[in-house]
A and B are shown apart, each in its own frame.
Chain A
């Protein structure tokens, strides 16, 4: 199949972009050349407007000849459903019948609370509110440079359902060492069925390393609070119910 403009198979698409040149004939030619290289044939510059002294904004319409083969589409499915804050709260309220307790921290010498704060603070990130905003979550944010034994103790005292750890600093693989130390400490301190869900996050983690690091889940760059909340509900409520 092809994109649909106003007739089946016409392949029409629209496109807008900026080129770092002043607006003139040559600039329009450059826009058409780019469109051509992107596979638009024929292409029409329907709008060109200079911005400042040396930029031009273009809107281009044109036909692409590429075919899309639906049977060859591959997607990596998220293994848990993305829920709204409302659904997360409703599920916890109905199924857990108490607040779900989350303890968060930056461990080791890492003082970068940017990550954990983005996920936990109400302020949130990327237009999404942090976990504190969820009525049915009780969030305890221990902040920066928390020693692993203190984290374990806090998790025990707060009866944490989940522990969220953020690691930004990666010098000499500190994030990996710290995470291993943390998961080992929890394994030692608590029996498997009483251990909170262990979740780590940070921009340099490989999301596939969870097993190797002894944690339940790793979240990489660009993770939003809603994804984390949805995962917590999935792992602690939905999936558990299935297993039982």
Chain B
């Protein structure tokens, strides 16, 4: 599944991140465990938490990040 389809408050492991310089600079990479904080309305970004950092990621970009739910 892609990250944007994820549920709030659920943890995910990122499997496949697109090769994007901005993602890379923010330290978003494969193997990272993230949780979804919230999604913004009308096509706004998704907000994920990585440890204690919060990062807003564009909807279009988040749709290209493949993730797996952590149970």
Q: Answer whether A and B are interacting partners.
A: no
Chain A residues packing against B (C-beta within 8 Å): none
Chain B residues packing against A (C-beta within 8 Å): none
